[in-house]
Amino acid sequence: MAGSGLWFSLLLAAGLAGRVAALWPWPQYIQTSESHYAIFPHNFQFQYHVSSTAQPGCSVLDEAFQRYRDLLFTSRPWQPPEPTRKQHAPEKNSLVILVVTPGCNQLPSLESVENYTLTINDDHCFLLSETVWGALRGLETFSQLVWRSPEGTFFINKTEIEDFPRFSHRGLLLDTSRHYLPLTSILDTLDVMAYNKFNVFHWHLVDDSSFPYDSFTFPELTRKGSYNPATHIYTAQDVREVIEYARLRGIRVLVEFDTPGHTLSWGPGVPGLLTPCYSGSHPSGTFGPVNPILNSTYEFMSTFFLEVSSVFPDFYLHLGGDEVDFTCWKSNPDIQAFMKKQGFGNDFKELESFYIQTLLNIVSAYGKGYVVWQEVFDNKVKVRPDTIIQVWREEAPVHYMKEMELITGAGFRVLLSAPWYLNHITYGPDWREIYMVEPLEFKGSPQQKALVIGGEACMWGEYVDSTNLAPRLWPRAGAVAERLWSNKLVTSLDFAFKRLTQFRCELLRRGVQAQPLSVGYCEQEFEQT
């Protein structure tokens, strides 16, 4: 491969120019040298280029400038240089930003272009991007390039970076149903996602355990289904705040309302929605999945998803569809009668398909696209060709790489999560296995590979709440972030270890409770408050 020699030299350069070693995720192309420029906080500013379509007033960038100024300069001690000391390095007093395509007030989407180039040389200190989203990624990279001498002077090395993501969907799943996560935990996570160039927050908002989403059409859902309707809910205002906070960081919010299974918490608020389970000839008092044989179910779903479609602006909704337990359906005589009438025989997958197809029709009528868990594909539900399938099962029914092959072979787009269940913990540096996953390592044509739009790190909440979320996520999720952003040739564990170790110290400096990778220390340790 022609590129690999170049790669080697770049990696070597990075080894020499130690400052660059903090970059995470590693950019697509980087050229850097030892010569560097000084930056003086009181003198330095982010500036829009005259021909940039984004200009002052562009909230996404105005706020990003403020954020990165704070990240760069405020939380570290800094004294103005002593006038007697000779400064060898020339000064850079601004980073000039040029955005080509207008669009400050839009939302990021699956199709958003995140490319940017960053040029820091004798003539320029310049960030060029197609969109504001690319500018955000470039600002993050810029902030990782700036370093500080022991005397406290800031520097940036002469650097040329051309960067773009390998995959366009780079997600992180949080589960706010098994444990409620306070709004601040979610917002803090969005910050760290931006530091890692993640661009999708997959919000697994409700599940069996609780229903914290405060629906204005069906307020009984949270009133009866949340852990505590006063404190453990997300109001409309909270949701708007999350979406806007994410937007300002170039992050999409992909909301999941998982049905027909994983819905026990929906039941108390919507009588008749769940299937009554039977014990012999009597209802047992317990409930199963959403009842797929009633018109009222679909009326409810129509209304509910109409609300969801307007509250969550992203084109895609996640409809779940995983782990439907058939035991309850089997026990229910009305369901059995319905099965007979429909000619489904004893194949409850047919009933599941029936439900999902009806739901998909509802949602697509609202002009939304959808993502579903792999079972929907495995159970041969007829779905629209533009459905995105998320692979989560490691071994069954087939190894996840085989599953990727099958799904893409059938022409569907796919997201990979199976090897990235971060809630599964083990002793030691498990980020290595997470890092070494190659999402395209399955048999398939180039067309099939092109259907892999990305992946997601998943932090399920059975054992996770705000007490342990941050250290369990970071820096482990960073390994997924780099795999999804950087070139597929960036696979050296040693190189990654060095950079990730430094990056985690940078996270500590930024106030993130990121746990250590190995023995050692950071100049600025995490301080308990």
Partner 1 sequence: MEHRGLGLPALLMLLAALAPRSFAAPGPTLWPMPLSVKTSPRLLSLSRENFSIYYDPSSTAGPSCSLLQEAFRRYHEYIFDFSKSELGPARRNNAVELKQLLVSVGLESECDLYPSITSDESYTLAVEGPVAFLKANRVWGVLRGLETFSQLIYQDSYGTFTVNESNIIDSPRFPHRGILIDTARHFLPIKSILKTLDAMAFNKFNVLHWHIVDDQSFPYQSVAFPELSNKGSYSLSHVYTPNDVRTVIEYARLRGIRVIPEFDSPGHTQSWGKGQKNLLTPCYDGPKQSGTFGPINPILNSTYCFLSQFFKEVSTVFPDHFIHLGGDEVEFTCWESNPEVTDFMKRKGFGKDFKRLESLYIQKLLGIVSTINKGAIVWQEVFDDHVKLQPGTVVQVWKNEKYGEEQTQVTAAGFPVILSAPWYLDWISYGQDWRKYYTVDPLDFDGSQEQKKLVIGGEACLWGEYVDATNLTPRLWPRASAIGERLWSHKGIRDIEDAYNRLTVHRCRMVRRGIAAEPLFTGYCYY
67 vs 393, which CB is nearer to partner 1?
A: 393
Q: Where are the alpha helices (DSSP H) in 216-347?
A: 220-225, 236-248, 295-311, 327-331, 333-342
Residue 15 DSSP code:
H
Q: Where are the alpha helices (DSSP H) in 282-347?
A: 295-311, 327-331, 333-342
323 is catalytic: yes
- Beta strands in 21-70, from DSSP E residues, in sequence order: 29-39, 45-48
Alpha-carbon distance 171 to 186, whole Å?
Answer: 14
Which positions lie near partner 1, rule CB under 8 A?
Answer: 178-180, 208-210, 227-228, 230-232, 264-265, 322-323, 373, 392, 423-429, 458, 460-465, 467-468, 470-472, 508, 513-521, 523, 525-528
5-8's contacts with Cβ under 8 Å and 24+ in sequence apart are 7/487, 7/489
Query: Are 141 and 27 contacting, i.e. CB atoms less than 8 angstroms apart?
Result: yes
Alpha-carbon distance 355 to 371, whole Å?
Answer: 16
Nearest to 288 by CA among 273, 275, 301: 275
Cα angle 368-373-374, degrees, rounded to a multiple of 5: 125
71 vs 233, which CB is nearer to partner 1?
A: 233
Query: Are 177 and 461 contacting, i.e. CB atoms less than 8 angstroms apart?
Result: yes
388 Rama sector, left if φ>0, alpha if ψ -120 to 50, beta otherwise: beta
337 vs 425, which CB is nearer to partner 1?
A: 425
Cα angle 304-308-314, degrees, rounded to a multiple of 5: 155
63 vs 395, which CB is nearer to partner 1?
A: 395
54 vs 414, which CB is nearer to partner 1?
A: 414
Closest distance of CB 283 from partner 1, Å: 16
Closest distance of CB 180 from partner 1, Å: 6
Nearest to 277 by CA among 231, 334, 234, 229: 334
116 vs 503, which CB is nearer to partner 1?
A: 503
Tokens of 131: 């969109």
Alpha-carbon distance 431 to 394, whole Å?
Answer: 17
90 vs 152, which CB is nearer to partner 1?
A: 152
Closest distance of CB 286 from partner 1, Å: 8
235: helix, strand or coil: coil
Closest distance of CB 73 from partner 1, Å: 21
Owner of token pair 């000039």: 96
Tokens of 446: 């180039």
Closest distance of CB 152 from partner 1, Å: 15
Alpha-carbon distance 40 to 146, whole Å?
Answer: 11
Nearest to 186 by CA among 417, 388, 464, 455: 464
Q: Which of 63, 91, 323, 394 is catalytic?
A: 323
Residues known to be catalytic: 323
